[in-house]
Homo-oligomer: A and B are copies of this chain.
Amino acid sequence: MKGFFYPRTAGGASSLIPSPPWYYSGDLLTVEYRTDPARVAELLPAPLELAPEDPGAVAIIWADWQSCSSSRAELLDPVRSQYKEAFVVVRCSFEGQVFSRCVYIWVDKDFAIARGLHQGYPKKLGSMWQTRPHPFGQAAPQIAAGGMFGATLAAADRRIAEAVLTLRAPSDSNGFVNGHPMAHHRFYPGIERGAPDAYAELIRSGAASFDGGQAWAGDVELRLFESPTEELSRLTVDEVIGGYYRQVGVVWDGGSTLAHLAKEDG
């Protein structure tokens, strides 16, 4: 049976995602802010701990991606290639090393859900929009001083976050919260009623290669809204750190196990 992911078949063409490496080209709009570190700690299961410095730092990142596998076939049938996402990243500490960790994420395609499942990103479906730069006409900002970019996130027909970023100047950094290797949980709930997880591990993952353009920093407004199915608004915006915009290219090609975990009750 062939296929990196389900459904596995004799030929393998049905697999929701092909095997890595996976290639990405896209635009990132990042908002960083500080919340109460206790709210971050709530999202860090043992053995993870708060990062030693600036433990309440949070990044919300909107990304407008085109992606493909090694065959590049998806690029010519772009319904299978383009997707949007918004994700929330905090930092944590494991065995003395600082990691980034995605605590919430929404995407708009099934292949992105499946890749996230593999990588330990807790992906749900959402509706994400971010202003695109364009070189012509009057209906787009440019990646330049004064360029204004909006970004919104909704899930289950409720808007849960929105931001406006006004670019000010080139920046050495595109933010720091998402700048470490990722420490993610991968678990599979047990099939028996009430059973503990059938599988649970802590993995490390990051880009196999990366290129990107000039990052820009700017002034940012961010609003979070309540929803009965989301807890993003618990990460209250106590102090805005900054906003960033950068065009990037990324390759992802697997991770490694940091620890096999005691299986928790779900």
Interface residues of A (CB under 8 A from B): 1, 3-11, 13-14, 16, 19-21, 23-26, 42-43, 45, 65-68, 73, 75-82, 103-104, 109-110, 113, 117-120, 122, 124-125, 127, 129-132, 134-141, 148-152, 154, 156-159, 162, 164, 185-189, 191-195, 198-199, 201, 203, 205, 211-213, 228-231, 247-251, 253-257, 264, 266
Complex Cα distance, B199 from A135, in Å, reads: 39
Query: Most chain-B Cβ atoms within 10 A of its Cβ — which of A11, A14, A162, A230?
Result: A14
Known: A203-B191, A254-B191, A257-B191. Is A134-B42 also a contact (CB below 8 A)?
Answer: no
Complex Cα distance, B19 from A152, in Å, reads: 25
Assess whether A75 is in contact with B141, with CB atoms less than 8 Å apart.
yes
Complex Cα distance, B192 from A21, in Å, reads: 11
A136 partner, pick from B7, B132, B186, B248, beta carbons under 8 A: B248
Complex Cα distance, B75 from A138, in Å, reads: 10
A25 partner, pick from B24, B68, B122, B138, beta carbons under 8 A: B138
Assess whether A140 is in contact with B80, with CB atoms less than 8 Å apart.
no
Known: A4-B266, A127-B79, A150-B76. Is A249-B139 also a contact (CB below 8 A)?
Answer: yes
Complex Cα distance, B37 from A134, in Å, reads: 37
